[in-house]
Structure 1
Amino acid sequence: MLRALVSRSALASGAARAVAAAGPGVADLRRDAWGHGLAETARIAAGAGARAMRVDGADQVALLAAEGIAATYEEQPDLDPRLLYGLPDAEGTLPGEPAMRVVGRVLSTKPIAAGSGVSYGYIHRAPADSRLALVTGGYAQGIVRALGSRASVEIDGLVHPIVGRIAMDVCVADIGEAEVEPGAEATYFGGTGPLAAGLAEWARVTGMTVGELVAVVGQRTERAWVA
């Protein structure tokens, strides 16, 4: 299972930054609030002083109106979404703590001998004896296939490369000699650790924007709100 953990406090800080930078403007809350969740994001943005929410259609305008939140599907947003959601720029610089952290779990670990292939097609072969971790999260959840052998996961504070092709629901990380137990949490991006700005590398590898990536992953995973 892959989860998108959305921090209320980080999103509130981001909303405050966006409003402070541009004034009480219109926040971009399209496509289920960029993967973070429309309703709660709207409440937080409104609480920070956003004048209105740009949404995808009349049904969402009505949904938010029932809570007393102004919304539009015609007016263009003018609050910076990078500030609002805490997204990295192309150089990996963050404006603050990312609102979303995407995490999987280690299912199992095993040794691998030098020269042995990993995942479908064996596009990666171990350059030396090592250990592998099978981690939840695959292309069905938005872990884009182009990231195979070109991105990383963070486990227990250490960064490990993803090796081989991304499968539908899992991927494989080379953990070397690290002590990793099944059930350990694996962070793909976000949070406050070494992959907090990991989306910047995803964008470089895939050619997609950080906004596109976070929206895709956020809508394909199990989403949960945290403090």
Structure 2
Amino acid sequence: MTSAPALHLGGGAAVRPVARLSAANLRANALLAGSAAGGDVLAADAWGHGAEWVASTLSALGIAPDGLRPEVLFGLPGSGTRPVMSLRGRVLGCKPLLTGEGVSYGYTHRAPADTVVALVTGGYAQGVVRSLGNAVSVGIAGRRHRIVGRVAMDVCVVDVGSPIPWGSEVVYFGDAAEGDPALEEWMDATGLGAGEIVATVGARARREVVV
């Protein structure tokens, strides 16, 4: 698997990962966010969460956005609240990878043993930072699987060990309380702050609100 193949799945949205936003967590966090001088939760498109959606949710609760602590409202690491955003992709297909065979551009990963790898939606164009390759794992059906090789523009490769169904959901980061990979893992691997990561992902991936 030396490069990302052309993907024809009936439209661009089908191959883009989803930044899933939890309305329930946003509402719960809003009641705990408190005030801090100078806080602006609607800056930078509400840190990638969507300024219009965040503003309308707060308005429905009768809460003014001015002065709320963004890290608490959005559930960023260290805030003690639940994360509002998770990033999710889909499996586009699987193929065997034999011992010694390389993955993705430049072969920065070679299989130490026979395995199966999956091509997954989500690449650096959607905020899946290149330095995550060979550094973090994703969640698929409750199990963790490592990203291997370099992250491409719209896809990445995951070592899944054995074939998994096409279309299976892949969790890049989410709510650690539900067993998802935590945003802190991305922070450690990239050196970026939580706000930088979620703002970039939220602006580039397709956003989807769940109740």
Aligned residue among 64, 71, 86 for 2:75: 86
1:18 aligns with 2:50: no
1:160 and 1:173 in contact (8 A); partners too: yes
1:88 and 1:95 in contact (8 A); partners too: yes
Q: Structure 1 counterpart of 2:172, which letter?
A: Y
Q: Which has more radius of gyration?
A: 1
Aligned partner of residue 115 in structure 1, secondary structure: coil
Give the match for residue 106 of structure 1: 91
1:138 and 1:171 in contact (8 A); partners too: yes
Specify whether residues 27 and 220 from structure 1 end up closer, same or farther in structure 2 by C-alpha distance, changes over 3 A only: same
TM-score, L = length of structure 2: 0.85
d(CA) in 1 for partners of 2:28, 2:38 = 16
1:195 aligns with 2:211: no
1:35 aligns with 2:48: yes
Shift of 1:4: 0.7
1:157 and 1:193 in contact (8 A); partners too: no
Kindly, what percent of the aligned residue pairs are identical? 48
1:123 and 1:165 in contact (8 A); partners too: yes
Q: Structure 2 counterpart of 1:140, which letter?
A: A
d(CA) in 1 for partners of 2:179, 2:137 = 10
Give the match for residue 154 of structure 1: 139
Q: Structure 2 counterpart of 1:208, which letter?
A: L
How many matched pairs? 195
1:148 and 1:164 in contact (8 A); partners too: yes
Q: Structure 1 counterpart of 2:123, which letter?
A: G
Gaps of 5+ in 2: 1-15
Q: Structure 2 counterpart of 1:203, which letter?
A: M
Shift of 1:95: 2.0
1:25 and 1:51 in contact (8 A); partners too: no
Aligned partner of residue 17 in structure 1, secondary structure: coil
Shift of 1:52: 3.8
TM-score, L = length of structure 1: 0.80
CA RMSD of aligned residues (A): 2.0
2:140 and 2:171 in contact (8 A); partners too: yes
d(CA) in 1 for partners of 2:150, 2:107 = 8
1:144-223 mapped onto 2 (5 Å cutoff): 144-177=129-162, 180-191=164-175, 192-197=177-182, 199-223=183-207
Give the match for residue 23 of structure 2: 8
Give the match for residue 11 of structure 2: none
d(CA) in 1 for partners of 2:170, 2:149 = 17
Give the match for residue 134 of structure 1: 119
1:25 and 1:52 in contact (8 A); partners too: no
Deviation by residue 1:14-33 (Cα, 9 ceiling, x = unmatched): 111113xx489954211111
